[in-house]
Structure 1
Amino acid sequence: MAVDLHMHSLFSVDGFSTPEELMEIMAGKGITTVSLTDHNSVDGVERARAKARQLGLGFVTGAEFDVEWHGSEQHMLAFGFDPANTAIRRICARHFAQYPLNFERFLPILERRHGITREQLAAGLAKRYRTKEAPVLNKWYAREFMVTAGISVDDRAALAAMSAIASEAERNVATPWVWSDLETVRDAVHAAGGIILIAHPTKFLRGRMRDQMRLVEAALAGGIDGLELYHPANMAEPHFNEFVEEARRLGCALSGGSDTHTDPNRDKSNFSAPDWLVETIANALKRRVSHPKES
């Protein structure tokens, strides 16, 4: 049996599928346990859970949070928490508000460089984020718009154009993104009955296993419950098998997922992770219930 515990629906600003479509895709691939881990949002969780139940899939409540940790941005995966928890909802609302707030700096540059107006972008929001209430303008959506409007020839060209705009927009901004610190998110997840894991720990330390393990060990020392082990970025590392051995020796919670964001009509990946990962998550959740004050 195989699992996928890291995926994004259109409740993430850069996701394409509805929660229901994602569950159907996973069932079609033979995945048996899933978790919807939208960026800074739990709004799609109950829809995904209902569809997963209908399809006979195991389901783990999840989310992926941006956090500030030692002066830099880091992604954290949360599992098994109460998605209705007030503190979790408050963090999600604060973080999600960063997307349109950050994009306000992009708008005048987009119009000056490419003739794209707020009104043009807003006109397509409801169609792009179908079934999502009150979608917001953001740089990922604007990048897609540049391709569909014929302003950029392809995704790569749009990415380059948006990167140039970001450089100008954020030139004199000390903190373009303002995320909660790791401790705040960690404590909220724990108080809501969940666990928190460092996501794709190799992604920004390519080929440097010692540094990757130091990052993981620092996270664990800081009250994080484990790490995402099976992820395309991790699995691309030449030392991945050794990384797995080291991670399993830690005895912490381990997860794995495709990190898919894609349009259901374009998703051709065949990612899967082993189902024993779910047991490590379940064990960590039990420990959290037994020792709720630990962090």
Structure 2
Amino acid sequence: MEKFIDLHMHSLYSDDGEFTPTQLVEKCYDAGIRIMAIADHNSVKAIDEAKSVAKEKGILYIPAVEIDCTYEGINLHVLGYGIDYHDEDFVKLEDNVLNQELACSLKKLELTNALGFQLTKEDLDALSDNGVYTGEMFGEVLLGKEEYKDHELLKPYREGGSRSDNPFVNFYWDFYAQGKPCYTEIKYPSLKETIELIHKHGGKAVLAHPGNNLKGQFEVFDDMMKLGYDGVECFSNYHSPETVEYFYQKGQEYNIMTTCGSDYHGKTKPAIELGECRCIIDEHIIEEQLKSNHLI
């Protein structure tokens, strides 16, 4: 089946992204993607630049953001498509999260060293341009240090190891995600507030990679639907065929958009390529959904 849509990727305006907005658009063009959206974490800074370059390349560009939020103690990511991204609300959102992340970064360093390492701020500052240290950065620094080449904790992430397909992001999921030893809590908006924010600014709210965030509790999706989702990202690199099918059927049941996104970051997730979304339907159907929701 023809692949020409990718509605979820990250630029360097996400702390774990690698490429500039222009570079991402050029990569999409080379990959044959003709409908795209950069959805940075809690940031809309990439949009104007990307939109301009996409227009030159003949690519349909959808303004988007990926917002961290919570629902009954579960951390979620919600994609907002077609938003009026120039509004001050999005600047406030980014500033609020950034200030908390700066404080949490120092705590992450402390917790990481408690695992048996001796990292310094300088080690992390070599990768971070704003003082925010992500779990992926810790993974990259530790895996790059000669003195830890035989460290037992790092073996699964080295070549041939069970977690070596996307070593940096897998290190994040195993040590820095909710419930893990180096997790630091950030006060994110509620799911209700997030959906309301997206709707207030003319956007459509889509739950990102639910198979990841709702692992072991898919039934929660039915409760969350009462808050007004417009879509679900059922086609995702993170989803097994069974998970894809489950959320695709949920999309049909609730008559909401069923979207696709690679969640491409660059070096953070080397096994993921642009346009790889595990989509099991004709992408022209997704294109029609985008049209009927006035997103293209």
- Structure 1: unaligned runs, 5 residues or longer: 127-133, 287-295
For 1:38 and 1:198, the matched residues in 2 are separated by: 14
Q: Are residues 110 and 220 of structure 1, via their aligned partners in 2, closer, same or farther at CA, if it must alter by over 3 Å?
A: closer
For 2:70 and 2:272, the matched residues in 1 are separated by: 33
Q: Are residues 254 and 146 of structure 1, via their aligned partners in 2, closer, same or farther at CA, if it must alter by over 3 Å?
A: same
Q: How does 1:114-193 map to 2 (within 5 A)?
A: 114-126=117-129, 134=130, 136-153=132-149, 156=157, 159=171, 163=175, 176-193=185-202
Q: Is 1:197 paired with 2:206?
A: yes
Identify the residue that residue 216 of structure 1 maps to in structure 2.
221
Tell me if the contact between 1:66 and 1:73 (Cα under 8 Å) persists in the aligned partners. yes
Using the TM superposition, give the Cα deviation of residue 49 of structure 1 relative to its aligned residue in structure 2, in angstroms.
1.4
Tell me if the contact between 2:70 and 2:189 (Cα under 8 Å) persists in the aligned partners. yes
Tell me if the contact between 1:83 and 1:89 (Cα under 8 Å) persists in the aligned partners. no
SS at match of 1:178: coil
For 2:57 and 2:89, the matched residues in 1 are separated by: 31
| 156-165 vs 216-225, which moves further | 156-165
Using the TM superposition, give the Cα deviation of residue 162 of structure 1 relative to its aligned residue in structure 2, in angstroms.
8.0
Q: Which amino acid aligns with 2:264?
A: T
SS at match of 1:15: coil
Using the TM superposition, give the Cα deviation of residue 285 of structure 1 relative to its aligned residue in structure 2, in angstroms.
4.8
Tell me if the contact between 1:17 and 1:264 (Cα under 8 Å) persists in the aligned partners. no
Q: Is 1:252 paired with 2:267?
A: no
Q: Which amino acid aligns with 1:221?
A: K
Q: Is 1:232 paired with 2:244?
A: no
Q: Are residues 217 and 101 of structure 1, via their aligned partners in 2, closer, same or farther at CA, if it must alter by over 3 Å?
A: same
SS at match of 2:241: coil
Tell me if the contact between 1:5 and 1:257 (Cα under 8 Å) persists in the aligned partners. yes
For 2:128 and 2:290, the matched residues in 1 are separated by: 36
Q: Are residues 141 and 111 of structure 1, via their aligned partners in 2, closer, same or farther at CA, if it must alter by over 3 Å?
A: same
Tell me if the contact between 1:17 and 1:263 (Cα under 8 Å) persists in the aligned partners. no
How well do the aligned residues superpose, as a CA RMSD in angstroms?
3.2
TM-score by length of structure 2 reads: 0.78
Q: Are residues 220 and 35 of structure 1, via their aligned partners in 2, closer, same or farther at CA, if it must alter by over 3 Å?
A: same
SS at match of 1:97: helix
Q: Are residues 50 and 264 of structure 1, via their aligned partners in 2, closer, same or farther at CA, if it must alter by over 3 Å?
A: farther
Identify the residue that residue 92 of structure 1 maps to in structure 2.
94
Tell me if the contact between 2:74 and 2:213 (Cα under 8 Å) persists in the aligned partners. no
| 146-155 vs 69-78, which moves further | 146-155
Tell me if the contact between 1:36 and 1:62 (Cα under 8 Å) persists in the aligned partners. yes
For 2:25 and 2:90, the matched residues in 1 are separated by: 23
Using the TM superposition, give the Cα deviation of residue 225 of structure 1 relative to its aligned residue in structure 2, in angstroms.
1.6
Using the TM superposition, give the Cα deviation of residue 256 of structure 1 relative to its aligned residue in structure 2, in angstroms.
0.9
For 1:265 and 1:221, the matched residues in 2 are separated by: 33
For 1:74 and 1:167, the matched residues in 2 are separated by: 16
Tell me if the contact between 2:235 and 2:244 (Cα under 8 Å) persists in the aligned partners. no
SS at match of 2:211: coil
Q: Are residues 169 and 239 of structure 1, via their aligned partners in 2, closer, same or farther at CA, if it must alter by over 3 Å?
A: closer
SS at match of 2:66: strand
For 1:162 and 1:246, the matched residues in 2 are separated by: 28
Residue by residue over 1:249-289, the C-alpha shift from the partner in whole angstroms, topping out at 9 and shown as x without a partner, is 42212321111112399566351551432432343358xxx
For 1:239 and 1:160, the matched residues in 2 are separated by: 22
Residue by residue over 1:13-54, the C-alpha shift from the partner in whole angstroms, topping out at 9 and shown as x without a partner, is 111222222212211111110000111111112222122122
Identical aligned residues as a percent: 21
Task: Tell me how many residue pairs correspond in the alignment.
Answer: 270
Tell me if the contact between 2:65 and 2:79 (Cα under 8 Å) persists in the aligned partners. yes
Tell me if the contact between 2:71 and 2:190 (Cα under 8 Å) persists in the aligned partners. yes
For 1:41 and 1:267, the matched residues in 2 are separated by: 24
Q: Which amino acid aligns with 2:211?
A: T
| Dislocated runs of 4+, deviation >6 Å | none
Q: Are residues 64 and 108 of structure 1, via their aligned partners in 2, closer, same or farther at CA, if it must alter by over 3 Å?
A: same
Identify the residue that residue 69 of structure 1 maps to in structure 2.
71
Q: Are residues 246 and 267 of structure 1, via their aligned partners in 2, closer, same or farther at CA, if it must alter by over 3 Å?
A: closer
Using the TM superposition, give the Cα deviation of residue 98 of structure 1 relative to its aligned residue in structure 2, in angstroms.
2.9
Tell me if the contact between 2:11 and 2:24 (Cα under 8 Å) persists in the aligned partners. yes
Q: Are residues 224 and 98 of structure 1, via their aligned partners in 2, closer, same or farther at CA, if it must alter by over 3 Å?
A: same
SS at match of 1:46: helix
Q: Which amino acid aligns with 2:254?
A: L
Q: Are residues 138 and 203 of structure 1, via their aligned partners in 2, closer, same or farther at CA, if it must alter by over 3 Å?
A: closer
